[in-house]
Amino acid sequence: MIKLGNYISGQWISGSGEGQALFNAVNGEYIASASTEGIDFEAALRYARITGNPNLRKLSFHDRGRMLKALAIYLSERKEKFYDISYQTGATRADSWIDIEGGFGNLFSYASLRRKFPDEPFCTDGSVVHLSKGKNFIGQHIMIPKEGVAIHINAFNFPVWGMLEKCAVNWLAGVPAIVKPATVTSFLTEAVVREIIASGILPDGALQLVCGSAGNMLDFVQSQDVVTFTGSASTGLKLKSHPVILQNSVPFNMEADSLNCIVLGEDVLPGSANWDFFIKEVRKEMTVKAGQKCTAIRRIFVPENRMEDVWKSISKALSGTLIGNPRNEKVRMGSLAGETQKKEVLTQVKKLLEHAELVYGSVETVELLDADNSKGAFISPLLLKKDNPFESTAVHDIEAFGPVSTLMPYKNSDEAIVLAKMGKGSLCSTIVTDDADTMKNYVLNAGTHHGRILILNTSCAAESTGHGSPLPMLVHGGPGRAGGGEEMGGVRGVLHYMQRVAVQGSPGAITNVSQVYQQHAPTLQDETHPFRKYYDELQIGDTLLTHKRTVTEADVSNFANLSWDHFYAHTDHTSLEGTLFEKPVAHGYFILSAAAGLFVDAKKGPVLLNYGLEECRFLKPVYAGSTIGVQLTCKEKIPQDPREPNDIPRGIVKWLVEVKDETGELVALATILTMVRRNDMV
């Protein structure tokens, strides 16, 4: 008997007993069995907290990001092995691309996200809050990696993506993971984890794998842990209400299957480009992964006078979809993940047919290419029609997790919104329209019940990733039935695995903790101009106080002629009545340019170039005769990785620019960025 391995506490072990037998979804052949019997889950969680967590949290965001990139490259080089195994789940190569390379893409995406974070194990969250008039008491939110473990209980439909889209986030945050994939397709997850462990890229304890039942694992969760779940709403509710999770206030993120919908706008006519996009989107969402996607379209809403045209067009599109052995290049839809899933889908379809009629497909037979229906878990795409969508709520409550969708009419756009919301909360929705009022009205009113809305039309269709494609930088989740959770979401997702702490203190204390210079904190001054220092030499708080310059009328006039900015406030003495200005005022950008002239060191040195301006405020008018000086302070340092072997080693330095007049008051405040050469010999 072949058994899948469980990677627990740094070693591969097989559970005792026979376990659950796993079969090829296409031909019914035995693959392996999965068992977790005898595994000490309490020890597994302890190992993650004691070994994995310290190993990750001591790394900076940039270290973790480079780790994700290395892992993504390593796995990508071995992707064909995973494709070969994925066929056994019933997935075509196109289906597997979403799962396998989509999962690797999440690693790449979160690796790049490291640039949004400091080169520290923690990060700040939001702006500083000033808490006193004297400016010596401020507050700053800090995000620190939790000291626990992320426990991911995943669904069967995406055995690779489901793991990596979550792990990429918790690893970047500095938290280890225990992954529990759905057993039926866990053989693919296990194959990927074996390669991850073999790579040696992750530190010890960063990843553990459970193939089979989760047993009593949730009995041992603690307040610093995070539990995520993807699957049915009923199972998710059961796990979410686990007494230990409730007792310890363990964060629980749930992403449940939902009755997602697509709406055809009243402005879309048969034969138009938008019509074709609509039909193509429905066909794709019904057949990709054989409809086994939590984001798949389950409800189709169209204007009542388009019903016949739509169901005929969808039926025609579905009839051209070859079903069968996913290894056959001609096949466009494979099987369901197993016989159990097939039985569940048909049971749900039977319930739906009590309230709707079947207009395409068969629940009994399906024509296959290069496959035997008696051995594989194949099913025909099934398009149902419900002429009165308000007659019963069954079509808005019952989900058949396969290639099944129900077509329904609406009378006007407001009614379409009501119908969309009858799903009681969905992961995503799509509206196909070019009408500005329709799209705005739909988003603002249906948005309360959806985690994501796609506005699909000719303007974006060529580049759109489609209705059912969650993207790493956007949140994936939805309210109500969809679970009320959020996954991915770029920086937002990372913060789910971190503790937010409001730190209060002096500007100096906050600077010391955050490693971001705050106004009024102590500074560091020496005889060396900051622009003469290499990136490695610069310290947060390094400061230059410049000599001063008096602004003249000629400066204002010359800058107006040079820039072509002849705005009346700078050039017209006769138009100032009723304005904020006593006399023509110097251009704000002249003040900033003059400030640069005061603080820039002209000689060739470590500063390579001006990288940009992040923020700028002009706080007080500067008139001819005013004298300005600058305080330039090293605010923050951000390393840059070389893109080519011969790249100049460098980093980005943020500088706080404080421009003051002769009274000592701030007239301008800015953060500028420079690219500065590194000197690893320093």
3-class DSSP state of 601: coil
Distance CA 565, CA 556 (A): 10
Tokens in use for 59? 């790394």
Q: For 173, left (φ over 0), alpha (ψ -120 to 50), or beta?
A: alpha
Query: Is 294 annotated as catalytic?
Result: yes
Q: What residue has token string 């594989």?
A: 376
Half-sphere exposure of 510 (CA within 13 A, CB side): 29
Residue 532 per-residue DSSP state: G
The dihedral formed by the CA atoms of 573, 576, 582 and 587, expressed in degrees to the nearest 10: -70
Catalytic residue among 101, 190, 255, 486: 255
> What's the rounded Cα separation, in Å, for the pair 523 and 230?
50
Per DSSP, helices labelled H in 38-115 are 41-47, 53-57, 61-76, 79-86, 93-112
Identify whether the C-beta of residue 367 lies closer than 8 Å to the C-beta of residue 427: no
240: which 2 tokens?
Answer: 């979410």
Distance between CA 559 and CA 172 in Å, rounded? Answer: 47
| Pairing mode, strands 426-432 and 260-264 | parallel
The alpha-carbon radius of gyration of the chain (Å, integer) is: 30
CA distances from 248 to 243, 244, 300 (A): 9, 6, 42
Indicate which residue of 167, 261, 294, 428 is catalytic: 294
Question: In this structure, are strands 627-640 and 607-618 parallel, antiparallel, or unpaired?
Answer: unpaired
HSE-CB for 88 with a 13 A CA cutoff: 20
Report angle CA 577, 578, 581 to the nearest 5 degrees: 75
Count of H helices and E strands in the chain?
20, 27
Give residues with Cβ within 8 angstroms of 306, minimum separation 6.
Answer: 264, 270
DSSP per position, 429-441: EEEE---HHHHHH
Count of all residues that appear for the chain in the document: 682
What type of residue is 108?
Answer: F
Hunting for tokens 């693959």 — which residue is that? Answer: 31
Of residues 253, 247, 257, 337, the one with CA closest to residue 297: 257
Inter-residue contact 277 to 482 (CB < 8 Å): no
Return the half-sphere exposure (C-beta side, CA atoms, 13 A cut-off) of residue 604. 0
List active site positions: 255, 294
